Amino acid sequence: MQTINPTTDEPIETYDEHDDEALERFVQRSADRFESWSERPITERQALVGGIADVLCENEDDYAALMTREMGKPIEQARAEIEKCSWVCEFYAEHAAQFLQDERIGVHPRAKTKVSYEPLGPLLAVMPWNYPFWQVLRVAAPTLAAGNTVLLSHARNVTGCATTIERVLADAGFPDGAFTTILVDDDSLHDVIADDRVAAATLTGSVRAGRAVAETTGANLKPTVLELGGSDPFVVLDDAPLERACEVGAQARVNNNGQACIAAKRFIVVEDVYEEFRDGFVREMESLTVGDPTDPDTDVGPIARADLLDTLETQVTESLDAGATALTGGERINREGYFFEPTVLEDVPADSPAGCDELFGPVASLFVVEDEDEAIALANDTEFGLGASVWTTDLERGERVAHELEAGAAFVNELVQSHPKLPFGGIKNSGYGRELAADGIREFTNKKTVWVSPADGLDE
């Protein structure tokens, strides 16, 4: 496994994959650790999760620089990611016991009936490169607090982040085997999923990867959470606050170099305000600074890998050949590293890549519609259903439209984002299950019904 700096196209580090013997040792250690870890008082587990936040805060600059070096995230956004990771750890350190406390349910006056939330065992977490710390810790913090252990299989191009996260938890005081990074290929990964000692799996990644994991977990009857791709609509109605919509829209499209599942990708604008929005949005995209992600003034850094840049370029070229027009950008940048111009496409054919596929990079697709009804119909005309936003000065109207948008999350006058206090996940080909909030910590627990009757039975 070799990591490459996407800004310079130069190698960073080479890592050896774990062989079968090492993998067997790690899985067994995780299973053994679960026995003692799940029996520890939840207050102790919470305290250790809170300790992760302390380690992250102490080393924020180092971890942010590592992310920027391995996947090209602008340094200020990398720092913000570490801060958000600290936040989610602090959140579960404070609330895990509350979320997992027994729920008393009255059924009979002489019976004690309740629902308890009990850990399942080792969890396999298959995580992507685009938010290399956040994606891991938003899963690990609640899962560990709940009493499960975690096996992490991270994306190859952020292997340095993967091994560093393991050290973070060790520095926070977690025992060996509570959290383990495994460096394996896809074949070995599916063997781990099928292993009887592994209780469940979660994946954030592509639809293809999600189907593969779901096939294996389904065959082995194991619970799964999948957070997959997105083609989020950004719906601009005829009474939208246009100046702010243009500004936030550009941010929503290019944050993390445009490589986010919940990034706004399809900008659906009612024709009465289309020209004004289009012109303002293009100005915002053209004002972005593209360059070295270690420079705090950079807005957009490189695409994370050479193959991903090739894919994005092909998608844009095919969309242009099909009839789309580039209002700005449209090409890779002729410089060292994997850079693509911030791009705005208009007249996008519905069956072109920019019309129906997920473009993972700073490329926005504009669509003009006649009215609100057509906007909603187009927003929902996609295989994905992760996030959506609608822009209007009429808040009642915005809330009503939000309910009509087919997505796991709908925002009014705000970019789509994840928040520790709110459940996060998608529908349709964007996956199933939820992370974060109370829903997230309960996903990988046994929701057990416990009924206690007196020895002499219940009165009729």
User: Of the candidates 367, 451, 413, which has an alpha carbon nearest to the alpha carbon of residue 111?
Assistant: 451
Contacts of 181 (CB under 8 A, 6+ apart): 152, 153, 154, 162, 163, 165, 166
Listed in order, strand segments (DSSP E) in 301-351 are 325-328, 343-346
- Joined together, the tokens standing for residue 243 give 């100046």
* Euclidean distance between CA atoms 225 and 203, whole angstroms: 6
CA of residue 251 relative to chain centroid, distance: 17
Cβ atoms of 385 and 378 within 8 Å: the answer is no
Tokens of 291: 């360059």
Integer Cα distance of 89 and 138 in angstroms: 8
Non-local CB neighbours of 187 within 8 Å, separated by 6+ positions: none
| Helix, coil or strand: residue 229 | coil
The catalytic position among 261, 372, 435, 443 is: 261
**437, two tokens:** 């909030």
Q: Are 259 and 309 in contact (CB under 8 A)?
A: no
Tell me which of 81, 90, 166, 227 is the catalytic residue.
227
Tokens 């060996």, residue located: 176
Is 261 considered catalytic here? yes
DSSP notation for 379-428? HH-SS--SEEEEE-S-HHHHHHHHHHS-SSEEEESS-----TTS-B--SG
Helix and strand numbers (H, E) in the chain are 15, 18
Query: Hey, which residues are catalytic here?
Result: 227, 261
